[in-house]
Structure 1
């Protein structure tokens, strides 16, 4: 729940939220059907199901009684002030077994699966992500992970097709000492060695980086006025998933993800954005290969299109695939 100012008094908004919800919402806006798997708990869970289904999201859920995750934020003063934030109760063993089976069933019926983080740190065991990543990939499903900490490590052990992580999360997890390109690129190589076929690192307002079997790419979007930065990284992942689900390569899909994430910062609604506007912004995304760390330090002008070297790299990638 969010309380905002209105000329005639306080205005209360009730929304479904969280990493997976924002990603599902963006996938729908990009024209991709999506099923959300979750545990819905108590009164907030019952409200959540209705809100999600009203948006057109298919919900496959385990329902239970108890205290569900929720928050109340007050934005009447212009800034977001947390009044109440509750992570809810952890998932029990029997509920986890049901949830796992449901996620496997829905995952095997999908082109791609995003593994997102739960509402609370104690919601479910991190090893669940290792098992899911391994089992889903063994069935031929594309697996994307947007995780950090123990959950990231567990997913890597299972193996993922695409890993998205922010440079702040790399620092928080002790994988890099600072945000220098040299350190980030080294961490990306290590993450590939640990089980990620493609690694994407968002770097706040700096160009994001992608590493696959062909090497590094730098992906730059036009600078837009920021209304709210929350959720931009999640929508980057959703855009990549949408591209992969419709048959694009990771190097192509990352431009859709970059545009979706960039468009989101111009809005207060998380997971929102106009599909046509995102498509137009995607045309302005600039891509260039990075041969090594020294090349990465060379500033490149924003041309509003793929650079010649980047175009050659993309064409070579498509030919090889």
Structure 2
């Protein structure tokens, strides 16, 4: 029924661009506030849907204007929002984002309705999980809900893509054991592997030794590193002029999950996902920057 079911967060992104990020106790002027759809779960769903994946989202939003904004954005991307729960008694999650001239960002998230997504919500969606080729998970919702979704996917024989972001101090073996792959950026890979030094290859190997079935380390403009049963594969990056890196990792993960659902190997899926992530940083915002298949075709092919 679905290529990808994303179980995760949905936030309204409130973005301001600044000449430089303020220090402690400092005030700087920024541009006009831009309101757009975001949240790691909703971002991954939108990225998967925009490139043609049959995608559904299980999330909670509030019964407010931001909730309507998020639902409208998912529908526009092509996501099935039937599993989304509208909580009339909660405020929709929000993310406050500051972007500097280099496109780098600082983000503060207020979870709102995301914090109320429960294991019972997952249990009610077991049929949707079983009807999906891949379930994509992140950590902007309660950990017990992530565990419940991972367990339901494992029971149904549905592949789990786990992006442990925001990175916890430690990731339990129960979740690592179902991650196929575990998708981490360099900071997350270093922290979760327990190795302050080393290389992406070292971090990926350490994470696989800790229980992950396979690992993808995203490297920004330098591409990605993949470790699975076939060995280690370095995927080159696509050189583009970065405008805003917000949500680029989610674009990568959504694209990766979509290609895996279609039967691609992990290295093949990562090569495709690198191009989607590169396209995403060339425009401002998270979901508004995600490419369609037609827009992606305009990017240079990887060597």
- Measure how far apart 1:217 and its partner are: 0.6
Q: Which residue of 2 aligns with 1:17?
A: 38
Is 194-203 or 43-52 further displaced after alignment? 43-52
CA distance in 1, matches of 2:130, 2:236: 34
Tell me: CA distance 1:201–1:106, structure 2 relative to 1, closer, same or farther (3 Å): same
| Partner-residue secondary structure (3-state), 1:221 | coil
Q: Which residue of 2 aligns with 1:196?
A: 212
Is 154-163 or 222-231 further displaced after alignment? 154-163
Q: Which residue of 1 aligns with 2:112?
A: 88
Q: Which residue of 2 aligns with 1:175?
A: 194
- Measure how far apart 1:115 and its partner are: 0.6
Q: Which residue of 2 aligns with 1:295?
A: none
Higher relative contact order by CA 8 Å / sep ≥ 6: 1 or 2? 2
- 1:69 pairs with 93, 108, 114, which one? 93
| Partner-residue secondary structure (3-state), 1:210 | strand
| Partner-residue secondary structure (3-state), 1:163 | strand
- 2:128 pairs with 92, 103, 106, which one? 106
| Partner-residue secondary structure (3-state), 1:67 | coil
List gaps (5 residues or longer) in structure 1: 286-304, 306-321
Contact 1:134 1:158 in 2 (8 A): no
Is 20-29 or 148-157 further displaced after alignment? 148-157
- Measure how far apart 1:240 and its partner are: 1.1
- Root-mean-square deviation (CA, aligned residues, Å) is 3.2
| Partner-residue secondary structure (3-state), 2:153 | helix
- Measure how far apart 1:210 and its partner are: 0.4
More helix by share: 1
TM-score (norm 1): 0.73
CA distance in 2, matches of 1:153, 1:234: 22
Tell me: CA distance 1:83–1:158, structure 2 relative to 1, closer, same or farther (3 Å): closer
Matches within 5 A, 1:116-155: 116-118=138-140, 123-124=141-142, 126-147=143-164, 148-149=167-168, 152-153=171-172
| Partner-residue secondary structure (3-state), 1:216 | strand
Matches within 5 A, 1:1-321: 1-2=14-15, 13-43=34-64, 44-59=66-81, 60-64=83-87, 65-71=89-95, 86-88=110-112, 91-92=115-116, 96-118=118-140, 123-124=141-142, 126-147=143-164, 148-149=167-168, 152-153=171-172, 156-173=175-192, 175-178=194-197, 180-181=198-199, 184-271=200-287, 272-279=290-297, 281=299, 284-285=301-302, 305=303
Is 143-152 or 71-80 further displaced after alignment? 71-80
Larger-Rg structure: 1
